[in-house]
Structure 1
Amino acid sequence: MLSILDIIEDTTVDGPGFRTSIYAAGCPNGCPGCHNPESWDINHGHWMTTDEIVQKVLADDFADVTFSGGDPMYQPEGFTKVARAIKEKSDKSIWCYTGYTFERLLRNPRQHQLLQYIDVLVDGRFEKELRDESLCFRGSRNQRLIDVPASLKKGEAVVYKYNPLPVA
């Protein structure tokens, strides 16, 4: 069971293209200036089974997936089950937003397990003084877009090169 604030289908703000975004309840970071402070309390969500979440995600053939929140890494076992099922049953990419850094997630076995199924990680706490609205898919300059498969292979963070323009 996962505490979920909401599941939004066909959003375009949490990664490239159309996405189904799953907003987790619960976040220990409490970043000043957070755009979603109601997500901090895990009890503000409603409880859903991993099967319910996976069925909702797979019902949209065209949308990729984003885990956001709150912080999905606050409920890593449940999100690992969801991510594993999505990857086993589809070719959807999965992006994940977290206030933790990639390096810290590597040191936590519970959170590291979820990384195995993530394509792009947006890591780092939101820093109000580093806010930059010109950045794609992140709120402050300290946050990174991490290519997780390449990073796991290399053993260190590899920046994901996002290019919104098609190659000519």
Structure 2
Amino acid sequence: MDKNIRLAGITYESLVNGPGMRRVYFTQGCIHNCPGCQNPTTHSMNGGEDRNMDALIDDLRDNPMLRGVTFSGGDPFEQADKCTYMAEKIRNLHLNIWCYTGYTYEEILENKDNKKGWKEFLNNIDVLVDGVFIKEQMQEGLKFRGSANQRIIDVQKSLSEGKVVEMDY
């Protein structure tokens, strides 16, 4: 496997992409093209730059303040196999994993067996913020999401219970 992932950028310490101090990887590539997207430069599959995944994971060890990692974008599911590789290693560091995606949880479940890496990536995510950004559904005070249609889902509980389990934030 190629040990590079295409990233649009990294936020090394974030308090707004999930609870606690987090490292945020903005993956490159998104097919949703949501009007009003805050990261439109991440849409092209050819933008950004290749980064060595092992070096990114090693770098996480240098910040004891980190409580988790967030995959954002772009859409991380466009590079699910690469995100899976990273998520499996990140789990060994005892950091929780959040992921933002324009796909719904249900779309991911429907496609998990025919899209490369989707099942494995989903199995390594703690919290999924799902659904496209809808500018008309922006609301003041929404925590950890851009529009009211997006859900904050406890992935592991949802998988074990066989239904969507939303988290209250």
* TM-score normalised over the length of structure 2: 0.91
**What is the deviation of 1:60?**
1.7
> Once the 2 structures are TM-superposed, how far is the Cα of residue 161 of structure 1 from its aligned partner?
2.5
Secondary structure class of the residue paired with 1:42: coil
Show the counterpart of 2:88: 84
Take 2:56 and 2:106, find their aligned partners in 1: how far apart are those partners? 28
CA contact (8 A) 1:133 1:139 kept: no
Contact 1:12 1:18 in 2 (8 A): yes
Check if 1:156 corresponds to 2:163. Answer: yes
Corresponding residue to 1:51 among 51, 54, 72: 54
Of 69, 77, 86, 1:65 maps to: 69
Quote how far apart the aligned CAs of 1:127 are: 0.5
Q: Identity over aligned residues, as a percent?
A: 42
Structure 2 unmatched runs, 5+: none
> How far 1:96 sits from its partner (Å)?
0.4
In structure 2, the residue matched to 1:166 is none
The match for 1:40 is: 43
Aligned equivalents of 1:91, 1:14: Cα separation in 2: 18
Greater shift in the superposed pair: 141-150 or 128-137: 128-137
How many equivalent residue pairs? Answer: 161
Deviating runs (4+, > 3 A) in structure 1?
none
Equivalent residue number for residue 135 of structure 1: 142
Specify the SS of the correspondent of 1:44. coil
- Relative to the length of structure 1, the TM-score reads 0.92
Q: 2:7 — aligned with what?
A: 4
List per-residue Cα deviations over 1:91-128 (Å, max 9, x = no partner): 11111000000111112233121011111100000011
Q: Select 1:28's aligned residue among 28, 31, 36.
A: 31
